[in-house]
Structure 1
Amino acid sequence: MTTPGQPVDGLTDFAELMAHEQEFNGDQVDPAVRTRRRRRGLLITAVCLVLMLAVTGGYIGWALTAPVDPPTATTRAPEVPVGDAVAMAAPPVAASAISIAGADAYLGATASGTWSATGTGEPFPIASITKLITALVILDASPLASADDPGPTITFGKADHDLYDVYYVQGATIAPMPTGTSMSLHDALAAMLIPSASNYAEALSSRVFGSQDAFLRATRDWLAAHGLAGTTVAEPTGISPRNTSTPADLLAIAKLAAANPAIAQIVATSSITIPGAGALHNTNGLLGTSGITGLKTGNLGEGTHSLLYTATLDVGAGAPLSVTGVVLGGASRESVNTTVVAALESIRSGFHQVPVASAGQEVGSISTPWGSTATLVIAETASIFTWSDTPIEMTMDIDTPPTYRDGTVVGGVTWTAGPNTVTAPVKILGSVEPPTEWWRLTHPSELGSFWGAGD
């Protein structure tokens, strides 16, 4: 049942349909029908606009705040350098050997035994190096308490004085020894070792042991006690070619001599004046050169020049290195000296700083989907201290930084060689800018999901 004046729904729809047809045909349309139509259209339009604005506003808000993928870092490991290899020239002598203490971390634990050697290793005539053994055997029997301890007084008689002429005619090195000369054991050892006086070697060893036979028995016992099976001593001066030793034994003898305070002080003395013996000069012309601190020369003529030496080398590796060496069978004293200095210089130059990086060196880059980029560079120049061509290992560690601004440190590069490690920081060169609003609005596929994570 309908209210009077209210059109029935079906009649209303029919009226509007007729109105549409009238309007299409150009006929007049009932004003009431036209008003209703307009209102309905306006309502539909308004609803569509509201929906469109809601969707657009939601998209804009999402696009401007949606998460984006973080910048991507690409690294390029710097080339690992190789230090220059040390070239140790083969010495022009019959045999040689070198021991180095204080550098095991660089050269290996065996360096303090025999680090390098040439020749066959067989016994070779040692000439006046014998006098170093004579001194060690004497001090084993009559030790001095310290380097400055004079020890007992030795008085030389006519038989001792006559040794001057005996060795003079043999062409051996000698020093004055007037009959009745008295001096301390320390000074007598100095007269034997510094100028290499053979008459003092025999006279002193006879005085301490009573006879040469007793001295030689004591010497054999001393050599056996120290495991020096490669060494033979037939007399105390070295004038006999039967006095022989191996390079390995001589390194051990040198270390025993250097460890004795009295001997170490004497062999490091370039010249001395002793009452009765006069002014004496060391036969080792290398003292004070290239760090050399001792020990003893020896020669039996052309082709038999030898040197047993110690040296202290400051190579920048912390404590100085202790070098013990021997060369046997050189052509001349000058050639032997040249060989020793060259060997020590090679060791010294073998310890060096190897440059591994320079400030500003590029090691990577940072990029973003929106086109902002920056460079990863090493922030500081770096070098590492090492020996010769010891392999250098490198690692690079890059972290996610809190900010991608110019100068931000993002990690480091570390180099290791032997016992040493050095690290240089890696920083950002240039800044990574955030995406613009326009990029966000125009790149929805590169933003987080509009409908939520996982949709």
Structure 2
Amino acid sequence: MSRTLDPAPPAVPATPARPSPRVYRRRRIAVFGTLGVLLATLIGGGAYATTTLTAPVPEHAPVVVDPAPIAATAQAIAQPGFGTWAVGAVGFDGLLAAGGQDTPMPMASIAKVVTALVILEAHPIPAGEGGPGIAYTDADIDLYWDMVAQNGSVAPVAAGTTLSLRQSLEAMMLPSGNNYSISLAQWAFGSVDAYLERARAWVAEHGLANTVIADTSGLSLENTSTAADLVTLGQLALQDPTLAEIVATKQVEIPGLGTLENSNKLLGAHGVDGIKTGTTDDAANLLFSADVPVGSGSVTLVGVLLGGANHPQVREGIADMIETIAPGFHEVVAVEDGSTLATYETAWGDTATARATESATVVVWSDTPVDVAVSAEPVTLAADGSPAGTAVVTAGSQRVEVPLELDGTLDDPGTWWRLTNPGGLD
């Protein structure tokens, strides 16, 4: 007979072993031990806690971004190849280029620029006005014929007429009327000698140490100057609004005199807007100014070329100089608005940057380097937008300061970080 075996009883799940009291005890020690240390620090170690929680936040030194200097290649210039010459620019120190600039040369009628400036210093003309009236007499007619006899340049004059000071200066400057230079000097100072005394003092006061004034007109070859001095003289002329307007005028109608033409035939070409021709028996000269476009603005050149064989040669030499000098000017964006120039980071993880609050653009000539010096200040606690220092842009004599502003917030680390990082603020 067979025997039937009963099935095996079902397995009973094992009951998890309860952790021993020792394990619980270890966990409590781990959790509450940390709290105990903190409580002990706060309660039992009050001096340490007070020091830790009240320790001042140290200064955070910036990491400065130091932009590399910017410099273009040197600009090549078409030099005249004759005479002496120099070119400068308004707002730029020194000369851009020159040749024989310290050699004294007869300046001829360029001396009338001194005459005009000295007279306008004594009798300034308000903007939009003609100035005082000047009555012309037979004595002025005599001066006219005297200048004709000496082969000097003249402008017409009529006895019994009255011209404004501005009209009289136009007659002296545009057609280069030697007779008007004498008439005006006598009217303004009482005599030619009194004028010469003041003119020589004026030249010295303005640092034109190599300029000699011998008469009112430049007819005498003893009226000498250097190209370097005459660039300074040209810049002084442009600073007087009345004279700057007169020398930029191609022609003018004056009642009783008719149409007076400017002897500067380069006016209106190559940006030229002044200043004065000068002619001797042996040479042609031109003191010139020219506005050349640069980026969104322009630069005013002031230069002179002395000792040309004739005026066409001088005009060609100056035109070539202007056309090769002008491309040597360029705008440089040295600092861009919002650019990061320094960074900050704290031990507890706060970060911020020092950013430029505006752009800084400079116009430079040729290979003049542009440098940016960043002076970012150390900070402790600082809110977003706080001042953070300056960036100073220098290019030759130009200097531009750009304020820096904090982008980000540097907060106190808080109680927990202070307690869990003993010595972290040292």
Aligned to 2:97: 116
CA RMSD, aligned part only? 2.8
Within 5 Å, give how 1:120-159 maps onto structure 2: 121-146=102-127, 148-159=128-139
Within 5 Å, give how 1:230-249 maps onto structure 2: 230-249=210-229
Aligned to 2:184: 204
Matched, 1:345 2:319: no
Aligned to 1:309: 288
Task: Give the distance between the partners of 1:140 and 1:392, measured in 2 at CA.
Answer: 38
Aligned to 1:329: 307
Aligned to 2:82: 93
The answer to whether the Cα contact below 8 Å between 2:294 and 2:331 also exists between their aligned partners in 1 is no
The answer to whether the Cα contact below 8 Å between 2:106 and 2:221 also exists between their aligned partners in 1 is yes
Aligned residue for 1:321, secondary structure, equals strand
Q: 1:159 to 1:346 in 2, by over 3 A?
A: same
* Deviation, structure 1 residue 387: 6.2
1:298-332 C-alpha deviation (Å, 9 max, x unpaired): 01023x2111111111032x321111101111111
Aligned to 1:216: 196
* Deviation, structure 1 residue 83: 7.1
Task: Give the distance between the partners of 1:164 and 1:238, measured in 2 at CA.
Answer: 15
Aligned residue for 1:178, secondary structure, equals coil
Within 5 Å, give how 1:290-305 maps onto structure 2: 290-302=270-282, 304-305=283-284
**AA aligned opposite 1:310:** S
The answer to whether the Cα contact below 8 Å between 1:100 and 1:322 also exists between their aligned partners in 2 is yes
* Deviation, structure 1 residue 277: 2.0
TM-score by length of 1: 0.56
Task: Give the distance between the partners of 2:139 and 2:313, measured in 1 at CA.
Answer: 38
Task: Give the distance between the partners of 1:386 and 1:99, measured in 2 at CA.
Answer: 13
Name structure 2 gaps, 5 residues minimum.
1-70, 333-362, 372-394, 399-426
* Deviation, structure 1 residue 295: 0.4
**AA aligned opposite 1:272:** V
Aligned residue for 2:117, secondary structure, equals helix
Q: 1:120 to 1:144 in 2, by over 3 A?
A: closer
* Deviation, structure 1 residue 164: 1.3
Aligned to 2:164: 184
1:330-372 C-alpha deviation (Å, 9 max, x unpaired): 1110111011111110022335799xxxxxxxxxxxxxxxxxx
Q: 1:389 to 1:116 in 2, by over 3 A?
A: closer
Within 5 Å, give how 1:365-404 maps onto structure 2: none
Q: 1:324 to 1:387 in 2, by over 3 A?
A: closer
Aligned residue for 2:235, secondary structure, equals helix
Counting matched residue pairs gives 276
Q: 1:155 to 1:344 in 2, by over 3 A?
A: same
Aligned residue for 2:217, secondary structure, equals coil
**AA aligned opposite 2:319:** V
Name structure 1 gaps, 5 residues minimum.
1-81, 103-110, 355-384, 394-417, 420-455
Aligned to 1:48: none
The answer to whether the Cα contact below 8 Å between 1:195 and 1:280 also exists between their aligned partners in 2 is yes
Aligned to 1:60: none
Aligned residue for 1:219, secondary structure, equals helix
TM-score by length of 2: 0.60
Aligned residue for 2:297, secondary structure, equals coil
The answer to whether the Cα contact below 8 Å between 1:92 and 1:330 also exists between their aligned partners in 2 is no
Give the helix-richer structure, 1 or 2: 1
Matched, 1:229 2:218: no
The answer to whether the Cα contact below 8 Å between 1:98 and 1:324 also exists between their aligned partners in 2 is yes
Task: Give the distance between the partners of 1:223 and 1:386, measured in 2 at CA.
Answer: 30
Task: Give the distance between the partners of 2:83 and 2:142, measured in 1 at CA.
Answer: 36
Within 5 Å, give how 1:250-289 maps onto structure 2: 250-289=230-269
Q: Which has the larger radius of gyration?
A: 1
* Deviation, structure 1 residue 250: 0.9
Aligned residue for 1:112, secondary structure, equals coil
* Deviation, structure 1 residue 101: 3.5
**AA aligned opposite 1:311:** A
**AA aligned opposite 2:278:** G
Aligned residue for 1:328, secondary structure, equals strand
The answer to whether the Cα contact below 8 Å between 2:189 and 2:195 also exists between their aligned partners in 1 is yes
Task: Give the distance between the partners of 2:227 and 2:214, measured in 1 at CA.
Answer: 18
Task: Give the distance between the partners of 1:392 and 1:83, measured in 2 at CA.
Answer: 9
The answer to whether the Cα contact below 8 Å between 1:155 and 1:182 also exists between their aligned partners in 2 is yes
Aligned residue for 1:320, secondary structure, equals strand
**AA aligned opposite 1:134:** T
**AA aligned opposite 1:152:** P
Task: Give the distance between the partners of 2:164 and 2:323, measured in 1 at CA.
Answer: 38
